[in-house]
Structure 1
Amino acid sequence: MLARTEKISFQGVAGAIDCVLDLPMDAARGWALVLHPHPLHGGARENKIVTTIARACVQHGLIALRPNFRGVGASAGEFDRAVGETADMLELVRQFGDAYPEAAAGKWVLAGFSFGTSVAAQLYSELAEKHGKLPDALLLAGSAVDRFKFRDITVPDDTFLVHGEADEVVPLAEAMDFARQRELPMVVVPDAGHFFHGKLIVLRRLLEQRLASV
């Protein structure tokens, strides 16, 4: 259960990263970094897919960290098509580890929705290249990884992909191309659009099933 939500700020390459922490009732066994959709189209940490993912993570004993990307809320900087956002998240991961060493030493879930999937996948790739600590699970909802790709992508074989059959923003065929190229399975939610209207309970159940193995 969610105990409380606290505001916190970290320092990215462009300046302050405006964040909130969702804290579990009991001692955390790890943490989750949950990344929001496109900043220029209303994307922010309060997005309902982002909060659904965060709550599922908290339910599994993880601290959920929800940052605002550049130019959103009190976060400094301007939209940088995932390049600067990924650099900021690298800084955030390091600083979170310094501030919350016990949680950072536990399980780690990296998740994103829409534009946030591209930052998440490229953050994972950067960490793998730098031999940093890798997340125990990568969760991508409404995947738009290739739309904002600026580097080679490395994702784990057990990457969790979930997509709406009727996605009007990122067509299912586009997401299938990403999955096919990397030989990843993908869960398709029938009749669901990009924002999973009327399907959040289904999404939550799918997330909880994946998190049960973390």
Structure 2
Amino acid sequence: MPEVIFPGPEGRLEGRYHPQKDRDAPIAIVLHPHPQFGGSMNQRVVHKLHYTFYNMGFTVLRFNFRGVGRSQGEYDQGIGELSDAASALDYLQSMNTGSKHCWVAGFSFGAWIGMQLLMRRPEITGFISVAPPANMYDFSFLAPCPSSGLIINGSADRVAPPADTVSLVNKLHDQKGITITHEVVEGAGHFFDDEHLETMSDSVKGYVRRRLTENTR
């Protein structure tokens, strides 16, 4: 899987790009957790999401937000990181002009950024939001949420408490024209140990495959 360097708003951004042989394959970007708490594109949940999408036939890009690894710039309270994500999607789309399906997946802080990206980019056809920190960040910008997607969290998450995730899901359920699927991994904490990581991955695979099948009917 090639390492890539592509232009971001504050200089270069470092990523891992995993293309399919099919030039028209669907595309996905994967966004990592909080840069100031050890989050990077090599975090295990991010890595798992990347390969979950790749093994379903997606061309996938994950990358480091500004100030992480070899990516230039400094942490910017989520504002700059959203611009980084937009630049990553621009880069991915420029390499895959024939793709008809575009997905965004994010874990924790990356889930918050990913759902903001939904609001900016109408071409995104689906999203995966893993352990969204609804207790820490304001998700009220999703009014309305422009795309259907999957929100998944662990029942034993102490970082992003399940009750706050349920409140977020309930608010989104009230909106018309989209379907929010909510799945809970029993016993999983915020960072998903090995057994729970596989369960999370299986949930993502099942959901994405259902959506792709619906879109090809």
The one-letter code of the counterpart of 2:160 is V
Count matched residues. Answer: 202
Name the CA shift for 1:145/1:125 in 2 (closer, same or farther; >3 Å): farther
Name the SS for the 2:13 alignment partner. strand
- Aligned: 1:92 with 2:84: no
2:136 aligned with 1:147: yes
Q: State the alpha-carbon separation in 2 of the partners of residues 80 and 115 from structure 1.
A: 13
When residues 34 and 207 of structure 1 are mapped into structure 2, their CA distance, relative to the original with a 3 A threshold, is same
Query: For residues 74 and 92 of structure 1, do their structure 2 counterparts lie closer, same or farther at Cα, with a shift above 3 Å needed?
Result: same
TM-score with structure 1 setting the length? 0.87
- 96 and 38 in structure 1: CA distance in 2 versus 1, 3 angstrom threshold: same
Residue 74 to residue 145, structure 1, CA distance change in 2 (3 Å)? farther
- Structure 1's unaligned 5+ residue stretches are none
Identity %: 26
The one of 53, 59, 62 equivalent to 1:63 is 59
What amino acid maps onto 1:99 in structure 2?
M
Q: What is the CA–CA distance in structure 2 between the aligned matches of 1:145 and 1:118, rounded to whole Å?
A: 8
Tell me what 2:197 maps to: 200
Answer whether contact 1:118 1:146 (CA < 8 A) is retained. Answer: no
CA contact (8 A) 1:70 1:79 kept: yes
1:154-169 correspondence runs (5 A): 154-156=144-146, 158-169=148-159
Q: Which amino acid counterpart does residue 27 of structure 1 have in structure 2? A: D
CA deviation after TM superposition for structure 1 residue 189, in Å: 0.9
Where structure 2 has 5 or more consecutive residues not aligned to the other structure, the ranges are 174-179, 213-217
Alpha carbons 1:138, 1:156 under 8 Å: kept: no
After the TM superposition, which segments of 4 or more aligned residues of structure 1 sit over 6 Å from their partners?
none
Asked whether the equivalents of residues 44 and 69 of structure 1 are also in contact (C-alpha less than 8 Å), the reply is: yes
How many angstroms does 1:53 deviate by? 1.0
Name the structure 2 match of 1:122.
Answer: 116
Measured after TM superposition, the shift of residue 98 of structure 1 is 2.2
TM-score scaled to structure 2, two decimals? 0.86
1:16 lines up with 2:12 in the alignment? yes
Answer yes or no: is the 8 Å Cα contact 1:122–1:151 preserved in 2: no
After superposition, the C-alpha distances for 1:11-59 in whole angstroms (9 at most, x for unaligned) are: 11111111111234x4251211000001111111011111111111111
1:101 equivalent among 97, 103, 127: 97
